[in-house]
């Protein structure tokens, strides 16, 4: 039996859907029953990491925990002490769950971390690799790295097999936030000053990430390791927008504004982080993931972009 936490979240739901399609025995852990439950999934509800409450019933008979639940990254965090809030959920809540899992006889604990553990950007021509020393910058990334270190310590004390997965930005059917905003702008024909961005960024399709996570849940060589996750193909912001527009069957209206001018404009508007996300490079090398697990991303970028666009158009067509 596999227990998936955060089962109503974007990644958790993707893992559950793939697991049930493969006929695996899975259980979802959520605060409340999702409006659209994944068919074939049993849910344990009323569970929260913040309270560190007992997970005994959810962990009964479980061999593997896939932990996707977290306090997610927030650009405008209004908490009085954001790091304390992230630590409460992402560190203390995670370790409490892992301790209870070890006590319940769970064999393996797969932890969804973040590429942000490595930093916010990569230099020209050099992607992050698993050999790079962590250098988290923001409070979310710091909490994820602290959870990783605490899990490794727990693994040494208990024998629990810990596997850490650090994905880049995830996209796929049902994606929200910035990716959904890009689809909205493209479909409306909004002119975007993003036609001359020559950065390189790694992304990971939801189906690729779910496949990797499920591989990590069972592969003998995954125990005790950390894996970077991406599609294995890097895109500039300009290229991403053009390929996403093609998936939406619309024309991308991209104005070739130099990245330097965008950075100046963003600073003037008090939004320097926006320019960094659009113009900086953030690449990962998944060579170790491929070699250790004999794994290749099963879904191509354009295939997942088409699936993402079709899901988006279906939803707005119903609204």
Residue 69 tokens read as: 């639940």
The catalytic site residues sit at 140
- Candidates 225, 226, 233, 208; CA nearest to 295 is 208
């Amino acid at each position: 039996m596999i227990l998936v936490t955060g089962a109503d979240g974007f990644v958790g739901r993707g893992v559950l859907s793939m697991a049930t399609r493969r006929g695996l025995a899975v259980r979802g852990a959520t605060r409340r029953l999702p409006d659209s439950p994944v068919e074939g999934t049993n849910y344990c509800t009323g569970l929260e990491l913040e309270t560190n409450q007992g997970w005994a019933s959810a962990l009964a008979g479980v061999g593997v925990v896939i932990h996707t639940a977290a306090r997610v990254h927030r650009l405008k965090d209004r908490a009085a002490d954001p790091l304390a809030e992230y630590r409460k959920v992402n560190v203390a809540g995670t370790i409490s769950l892992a301790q209870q899992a070890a006590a319940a006889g769970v064999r393996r604990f797969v932890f969804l971390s973040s590429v942000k553990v490595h930093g916010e950007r990569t230099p020209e021509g050099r992607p992050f690799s698993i050999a790079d020393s962590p250098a988290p910058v923001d409070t979310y990334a710091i909490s994820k790295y602290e959870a990783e270190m605490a899990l490794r310590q727990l693994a040494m004390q208990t024998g629990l097999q810990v596997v850490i997965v650090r994905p880049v930005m995830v996209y796929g059917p049902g994606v929200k936030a910035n990716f959904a905003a890009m689809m909205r702008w493209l479909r409306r024909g909004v002119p975007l000053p993003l036609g001359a961005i020559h950065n390189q960024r790694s992304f990971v399709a939801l189906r690729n990430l779910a496949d990797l996570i499920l591989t990590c849940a069972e592969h003998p060589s995954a125990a005790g390791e950390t894996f970077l996750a991406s599609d294995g193909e890097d895109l500039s912001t300009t290229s991403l927008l053009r390929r996403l527009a093609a998936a939406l069957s619309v024309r991308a209206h991209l104005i070739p504004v130099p990245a330097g001018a965008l950075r100046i404009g963003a600073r003037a508007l008090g939004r320097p982080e926006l320019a960094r996300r659009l113009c900086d490079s953030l690449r990962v090398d998944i060579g170790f993931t491929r070699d250790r697990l004999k794994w290749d991303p099963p879904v191509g970028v354009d295939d997942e972009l088409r699936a993402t666009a079709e899901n988006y158009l279906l939803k707005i067509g119903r609204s």
